[in-house]
Amino acid sequence: MTRAHFAPRGSRRFGSGRRRGTSAGDGFIVGLVLILTLMPTGPTEGASAAAARTASSTTSSATAATTATTTTVLSAASAATARAAHATPSSPEADPGKPRLVVLVSIDQFRADYLEKFRDLYLPVPSAGKPGGFRWLMERGAYHLDAQHDHLHLYTGPGHAVLLTGAPPYLSGIIGNSWWDRATKTVRYCLDDPDSPVIGSAAARKGVSPKSLLVSTVGDELKMATGGRAKVWGIGFKDRAAMLMAGHLADGALWLDDESGRWISSRYYFKDGKLPGWVEAWNARKPMDAWFGKSWTPMVPASAYARAWTASGAHANPAAGLGTSFPHKVDGGLAAPGKAYYRAFTETSYANGYVFDSALEIVAREHLGQDEVPDILAINLSTNDYVGHSFGPDSPELIDVSVATDRQLAAFLQALVSAVPGGLGSVTLVLSADHGVAPNAIAMKEAGFAAGVYDEEALRSTAEEALDRELGAADWTSGIVEGELYLDHATVEAKKVPLDRAQTIAAAALAGAPGVYDAVTSARIQTGALPPTALSRRIAESWNPERSGDVVILPSPYWTEKSAEKGATHGSPYAYDTRVPVLFAGAGIRPGRRPEPVTTLDIAPTLATLLGVLAPSGCEGRVLGEDLR
């Protein structure tokens, strides 16, 4: 197959294209990945305790419950530290420049501009070597000012797959959250695996695993390079985030069961079908229930919300019971904790602190970072995505959750000081994001932009009708999934129609539809018949011959799928979706502000080099040598 010709990565058409292997990169990280080496500091409190005081006002009972949870975490962390203090000294062969622990934090739907836009609201850089939040990372770490994702469909699946593989979707196979499966003639979720049942869930769920990921991760390579001694874990509310970062050989991945508020996993990782005992004990305490009936209230001065462009809540679409403006009651409209409450909780400023507390429990219970063999912990913060979808990127709620995340991140890093021997000097932290987010399309239209919403099924009908007119009545299409139209190849073959002709007819009809910038056939992609633009490169780098559609549909700027008429969404190749933060800090990292273009593809090879292991099998990024000591 001939690959499409790409625009040079230095091109600024459709979002700054760059050629791999040079100092430029075209994948602004959408899921903020922060690599941080922790600097030694004094003992600090846990993330939830700080979050309970700073994220918003709560009653004393909620604070007590949160403090109790954090005390459990820190007690375990202290025990782990005590064990390490009496452990055998590192062998002479141990590399003092390697971190004991690499922590990747991916903040879901965290656009790059949020770092500067809300900078005045974030914590100042602490004194005496203490770690802080975003500003500390920006001023004391390696801060990439021009970073973005390099692929076409900006969704959670591909955005997280790239972070620790360095592989674009055409190689990784994760072209979206879902795609059309021609063999089964159904939509296939990116983690579907009937041979790997979910364990720990309150209700029956489809089996999931990372088997659809066709390449290795940094964690996989680290496991192989250390004879399996390294420990690799992933955690987040979303299964696809936790697993696609953790990889194939991880010791475990945990995600949320929104039916029960429990952490759950897959038999793929736990062959005996049982969660680890400490996870079951955590779940049995039901720590998430502590916030039931509380209110999410603003945590910054009212004047700070003046910068919110859509402050009225007119375009909001929140979870049940939350309401469209502050204060937000956190009960899901229920009399006792249940599914609607757990879903509502994940959409509040408290939720990221809960994930950080759980991550600290992994560090303590699984003894991460306790010896010279490096470990990896990948953390996804999904709440920022949930708030963005429900309230939009220009809302007071988005400002509030960003500020809360800053405080919770600082508390988490301070807790690691106690949990890992050597403190922050033994930890490398990476911060990034899986994608950004578009403004609400209706708000943009009301403001005078050429904006609006489209219906994917209506687009499918448009293509079907055009094919009927040109080729005769038949069921020409199979499905449309996340901007990709799939033709029914059996019908095309039975009608003795050349596939490229059917594709061309469908693409021409779609290209003229409202909200569609262009529609590109797979025949054009395979033969390289695309114009030399950065957008063309994104298309080619996201097209997988087995999983991608016959026609790739490109929305116009500020046009989104109809399901996001309220709230906001993402998925396009435009700057508001592609540009994400990329920050490294901690062990082995040279601080500084870096204006040169980079992409999220560059995170994996940089970490692999830092750890002294082979780059992942599909890696196409470059080593950010300027960031390494």
294-296 vs 328-330, strand pairing mode: antiparallel
Residue keyed to tokens 């033969």:
527
Query: Does residue 531 carry a pLDDT above 90?
Result: yes
pTM of the model: 0.87
pLDDT exceeds 50 at position 16:
no
Q: Which of 58-67, 209-218, 420-429 has the highest mean pLDDT?
A: 209-218
Q: State the average pLDDT over residues 139-158.
A: 98
Q: Is residue 597 very low, low, confident or very high in pLDDT (cuts 50, 70, 90)?
A: very high
Provide the pLDDT for residue 317.
92
Give the contacts of 218 (CB within 8 A, at least 6 positions apart): 102, 164, 165, 247, 376, 604, 607, 608, 611, 613, 616
Average pLDDT of the residues in 29-49? 37
- DSSP letters, 67-136, are HHHHHHHHHHHHHHHHHHHTSPPPPTT--TTS-SEEEEEEETT--TTHHHHTGGGSPPPPSTT---SHHH
Residue 309's pLDDT is 86
Question: According to the model, what pLDDT value does residue 127 have?
Answer: 76
For residue 424, name the pLDDT band (cuts at 50, 70, 90).
confident
Place of tokens 């500084």: 592
Task: Band the pLDDT of 97: cuts 50, 70, 90.
Answer: low
User: In the prediction, which pLDDT does 39 show?
Assistant: 37
The end-to-end CA distance of the chain, in Å, is: 40
Per-residue pLDDT, averaged over 122-145, amounts to 93
| C-alpha closest to that of 462 among 508, 419, 497 | 508
The answer to whether residue 53 scores a pLDDT higher than 60 is: no
pLDDT tens digits, one per residue of 279-329? 999 999 999 999 999 999 999 999 999 999 887 888 999 998 999 999 999
Contacts of 446 (CB under 8 A, 6+ apart): none
Helices and strands, number each (H, E), in the chain: 21, 23
Dihedral (CA of 43, 123, 398, 604) sign: negative
**Residue 135: both structure tokens together:** 């500003």
3-state DSSP assignment of residue 154: coil
Look at the block and give the residue holding tokens 């680890």.
276
Residue listed under structure tokens 């300027």 = 626
User: Residues of 336-356 as b/e, b for ≥16 C-beta within 10 angstroms?
Assistant: ebbbbbbbbbbbbbbbbbbbb
- Residue 95 pLDDT: 55
Q: Give the DSSP H or E segment for 485.
A: strand 484-487
Which whole number is the average pLDDT over 346-374?
A: 98
Average pLDDT score over residue span 55-75: 36
Calculate mean pLDDT across residues 366-372. Answer: 97
pLDDT at 84 over 60: no
Which secondary structure element, helix H or strand E, spans residue 375, and what is its range?
A: strand 375-381
Query: What are the structural domains of the chain?
Result: 31-84+102-166+216-441+586-627 (3.40.720.10), 452-556 (3.30.1360.150)
Res. 627: pLDDT tops 90? yes
